[in-house]
Structure 1
Amino acid sequence: MPTSQSDASTPSDDRATPDKMLHTGAEGPVSAEDLVLATGRDVTPKNLAWAERKLQEEGSAAVNKLLP
């Protein structure tokens, strides 16, 4: 059932997402799961092993190469 009040925590289709709601993840360490998800792959043991190797080789810069 639609309501007449808009929810301030979710953006509407006709306006941009406020900066305070955008998060890059740069404030914390990058996990192997983060890296897998950034590639759009499923979190599987094989993909996690790949991501762990990438993080050992490149550190958090590995995810920066994937995200704009």
Structure 2
Amino acid sequence: MTDRNDERRREEQPRTGSDQPWEPEDLVAAEGKDPTPENLADARRRLAEEGPAAVEKTLP
């Protein structure tokens, strides 16, 4: 049985852009860049190295 207070606490927690899975294409688009092979490679590298921090830097 789910406690209603637990549900309310989860709903009240702030969400950030990094709460969801991000693809390199998403990060490139969020930065307003064209999805060139170079930009996608850079986004892929940053997502691999920085994880959610790469998204947080773009969408705080």
Q: Larger relative CO (CA 8 A, sep 6+): 1 or 2?
A: 2
Q: What's the counterpart of residue 20 of structure 1?
A: none
How do residues 1-68 of structure 1 correspond to structure 2 at under 5 angstroms? 26-68=18-60
Task: Number of aligned residue pairs: give it.
Answer: 45
- What SS does the corresponding residue of 2:27 show, helix, strand or coil? helix
State the TM-score, normalized to the length of structure 1.
0.56
**Root mean square deviation, CA, Å:** 1.6
TM-aligned CA deviation for residue 52 of structure 1: 0.5
Q: Which runs of 4+ in 1 moved over 3 A?
A: 24-27
Larger Rg: 1
Deviation at 1:25, TM superposition (A): 5.4
Give yes or no for contact 2:18–2:55 (8 Å, CA) kept in 1: no
Between the aligned residues of both structures, percent identity stands at 60
Higher helix proportion, which one?
Answer: 2
With normalisation by structure 2, the TM-score equals 0.63
CA positional deviation for 1:61: 1.8
